[in-house]
Amino acid sequence: MLIATLAALLAGLTVAGRIDVRQKVLQPPPDQGAASADTSNAKPDESAMSERELEEALVKARTVEQVTRALAAVALPAELTLLALALYLLGRYVGGKPTFRRAVALASQAALPGAVGSLLVALAASRRTSIAPSELSTLLLPSWHGVDPFAVWSVVLLALGFPTLAGVSRTKSWISIGICFALWLALTRLVFGGAK
């Protein structure tokens, strides 16, 4: 759990230090878009930022980016604890006899592919001077609907470790983890796809 958290923190801070926040800073707020159309007779110098204001806004946006990514990395232990609880409950549901300690161990092992992915993202980001926000999802490997090879690797580790956790057969383990993964994909696609 600690390794995955530190790797996610390293990747998050490395990416945040190189992400191009200029477009976000220069983009006017939504309510000012209509106002700028009404004030077409205003002088261009009045609406433009000075060099100093631009630099301060860029520093502020980069700090917000770093804090946001650091908080996301620090939240990883809580996410893994919730995964362990879900694995424990799933083991009970399918008729096994899991323990929460084994569930935490399996959740931590399943986080190792994510740690490898985070280290590779940090390495890829460190070789670049600037990263466009649109390049973040494909910085390392392209993903299919948010699923990358590291997520698949984690699911395989969960399916391989679930028989030991719950004391069930391998067939039941693969079916249980496969159904849960499909439900997770559908749920995240529904939530994040609908949010766009």
Average pLDDT, the chain: 78
Nearest to 73 by CA among 21, 7, 150, 16: 7
Residue 143 has pLDDT above 80, yes or no: no
In this prediction, residue 169 has a pLDDT band, given cuts at 50, 70 and 90, of very high
pTM: 0.71
Weakest mean pLDDT among 9-23, 38-52, 92-106, 139-153: 38-52
pLDDT in tens, 89-119: 999 999 889 999 999 999 999 999 988 888 8
d(CA 92, CA 86): 10
Residue 35 has pLDDT above 50, yes or no: no
Please, what sign has the CA dihedral across residues 4, 194, 125, 23? negative
